[in-house]
Amino acid sequence: MTVEKKRLFLGSIPFFCLFILLYLTNLFKLVYEQKIMDLEVKNGKVSIPAKTLSKSSLFSLSGDFYYTPNQFYSLKNSHEESYAKVPGDFASKDLGNVFGYGSYGLELYGLDPGTIYAIHIPHIFSSCSIIINGIDRESQGQPGIDRETENPGTRSSQIAFRPLKDGTANIVINVSNFFNNKGYIPSPIILGEASQIGIMFRGDLIFYGTIFAVTFSVALFFFMLSFFHKNSFVIWFALTSMVLAVRGIFFYPHIFMILFPDIPWIANFIMRYVTVPLPIIFFTVFLTKALKLRYKIPYIIILSVSILYAISTIVLLPEVSTFLLIYYQIFALLCVSYIIAIAIIGLKKKKEFAVWIFTSTVVLFLFGVYDLLVSLGIIPGEFFLQIGTVFAVIILSVMVLDDYASSINKIEDLSVEMQLINRSLIRFVPDQIVELLNKKSITDVKLGDSVELTMPILSIDIRSFTHTSEKLAPNQVFELLNEYFALVAPIVRKYNGVITKYLGDGFFALFPDGANAALSCGIAIQKAIRDNGIAVPNASPIKVGIGIDMGDILLGIIGNSTRMDSIIISNSYHIAEILQESTKKYCSYMIISDRIYDAINDISEHYIRPIQRVKNSSNKETFLYEVYDCDDDLIRDLKHSTQGYMENALKALSNEGAESAAKYFDKVLSIFPDDPVSLYYKKIFEKINSR
């Protein structure tokens, strides 16, 4: 095991210990969950079985409760019996909208008069009060008959009671909603002996409290680490984890409200809602910086919409925020889909951290979908995103530790490597070539090292340089070339290109990052040549032609022990040079092959048109393409407007002959009389017809 992997292993131990702690607390939690029995409430009544598994059994009560709209303290409607589902929505039948008030009723039978029982009432939206056997026992906020008299609740309730002497109990739950997009009871009511309800709730407190402690501790650790780490994504990961950790304590079992019961309900409301968009904002930025991938339009949309919704939860009325929540939750699913897509792209491009990020994102996505279904009332239950958060945070924590361990290892190796490099400078090999040979350092390069790669090759040449140089003194020739290379070489390096050979007034370059990098580099070179106007006295500024192909190359080291050089063998070198030469006859700035064209991510970002029909290495009909991003605006627009005719002309030339193709070329020339490609083909046709 390498030193780097040992560091990663040792650094991961605390996080796996936290994971084991969570597992153990969950086992404790399952002690009571395994004994919960489902009982169906029918017509507002339910009977507790005389024989249960044990006295520690708990009962989950759900079904048809009595429901009396627009009236409090009513066990059942005296005029007309009506019922409502628990879990489920409630609303005023008279008002006919999402706002209203009423009361639920439940008659319990089969209780032991000598036993103290308790019920667990979930957090009801927006408020409720609980009456058992005619006595007000507890409330979640204060239910009211309108917005002015209602005070929303902030947490669930656990209430102990004694049954009546006949073993029965009547429970009335007054409910109202004037602040939420809908009023509802999110999960069943739990009944059991008071001691068992207490054990259940304490178990939940321990489990979810541990989740918060683990997540927030990890977030705080990486927040502090971000000040010493070169990668800015660490702080965004820390902020994401912090927000998710804090969000969890505002949901069941409502740890924050237990610790701070006097906090106003509006503060609790804002924290519950603002922590929906904030993790998406922070995680989107984290993903972009970690994978170094960003698609501008969806990135801006995600951040803009999320920031606007976050602000709305603070400045707008609560009912507006709750109304907008469902639409934002749907939007959030699209956001997560974009995040997963970016992670998949990162996997395909073999980006660093892509596997870690993809795994954690899928975990969050699955838990998020579950929470959304609960929020929409499609399935009953509590929110579990905070549990998924722990898994995701631990996965990403190990990722950051891996990167940190790698950084430490590189720093330690740097001083030793620098000494060795000083002794190796006499064997000059470009740093990029060393990387392509999969060597850590130039000192590792040996004679005979070789590697087979597939990547773009760019060929560039100054137009009419021989004619120009004949008119110059030797020192002027070198000054011109040095000025030219000083301008162009940094552009190649900017796109991670490798100049493999200087050939007088041109060179060949490789691009490990793929076709997009090679194409962008070629366009940037043409723009730089145009904008800087390199020229000698009394002469026009130089122009260059560029050809780009993609193919298999063989890269290797030749020479002897005292003098080494790199060599590249590839048929694509020859093709790239031919494409570069073809820019002369077509009067083009840049020509690319079909392999480059097919490898470009988004063709619509560039101005590209076919100019020649050819057969590729697979003997398949395809095109050579002209890139005209750098043409003058007028010429570029004319070429773009005639692109369809050009494509039809080339297809007709291949399938039907010159006569049919000439008609399309004539259409091109009718719009753009100086189109060099059409003029070239027309000239060829005239020569053929004159024979």
pLDDT band (50, 70, 90) for residue 626: very high
More confidently predicted of 22 and 225: 225
Pairing of strands 544-560, 450-462: antiparallel
Q: How far apart are CA 163 and CA 267, in angstroms?
A: 37
Residue 303 confidence (pLDDT): 94
pLDDT computed for residue 293 by the predictor: 86
- Give the mean pLDDT of 369-396: 71
pTM greater than 0.75: no
CA distances from 276 to 127, 268, 322, 459, 465 (A): 22, 13, 12, 51, 62
Question: In this prediction, what percent of the chain has a pLDDT beyond 70?
Answer: 84
Specify whether domain 35-187 bears CATH 2.60.120.260.
yes
If pLDDT is split at 50, 70 and 90, which confidence band does 353 have? confident
- For residues 141 and 180, the answer to whether their CB atoms sit within 8 Å is no
- 364 has a pLDDT exceeding 80: no
Return all residues near 49 (Cβ < 8 A) that are at least 6 apart: 37, 39, 110
Are both 35-187 and 431-631 of the same fold?
no
Instruction: Sort residue 451 into left (φ over 0), alpha (ψ -120 to 50) or beta.
Output: beta
Of the two residues 555 and 609, the one the predictor is more confident about is 609
Condensed to tens digits (0 to 9), the pLDDT of residues 503-553 reads: 878 889 999 999 999 999 999 999 999 998 887 777 778 889 999 999 888
Which residue, chain included where needed, has tokens 């190649």? 492
Ranges of each domain in the chain: 3-29+206-398, 35-187, 431-631, 637-691
Q: In DSSP terms, which residues pair with 627 in a beta bridge?
A: 608
Question: Is residue 113 reached through a cis peptide bond, with omega within 30 degrees of 0 on the bond before it?
Answer: no
- The CATH label, of 3.40.50.360, 3.40.50.2300, 3.40.190.10, 3.30.70.1230, for the domain at 431-631 is 3.30.70.1230
3-state SS string for 335-361 = HHHHHHHHHHHHHHCCCCCHHHHHHHH
Three-state secondary structure string covering 16-75: HHHHHHHHHHHHHHHHHHCCEEEEEEECCEEECCCCCCCCCCEEEEEEEEEEEECCCCCC
Q: What would the pLDDT profile of 584-617 be if each residue is shown by its tens digit?
A: 989 999 999 999 999 998 888 999 999 988 876 6
Q: What is the DSSP-derived secondary structure letter of residue 206?
A: H
pLDDT of residue 93: 46
Shortest CA distance to 68 belongs to which of 98, 41, 106? 106
Q: Is the pLDDT of residue 23 over 70?
A: no
Residues 6+ positions from 131 with CB-CB distance below 8 Å:
73, 137, 171, 172, 173, 174
**Cα(466)–Cα(477) distance, integer angstroms:** 10
* Overall average pLDDT of the 646-663 stretch: 87
Confidence of residue 386 (pLDDT cuts 50, 70, 90): low
CA distances from 114 to 110, 133, 168 (A): 12, 16, 12
pLDDT digits (tens, 9 = 90+) for 167-189: 999 999 999 999 887 788 888 99
What's the pLDDT band for 417 if we cut at 50, 70, 90?
low
Q: What is the pLDDT of residue 375?
A: 66
* Average pLDDT of the chain to the nearest whole number: 83
pLDDT in tens, 49-75: 876 646 678 999 999 999 998 899 999
The predicted pLDDT at position 164 comes to: 95
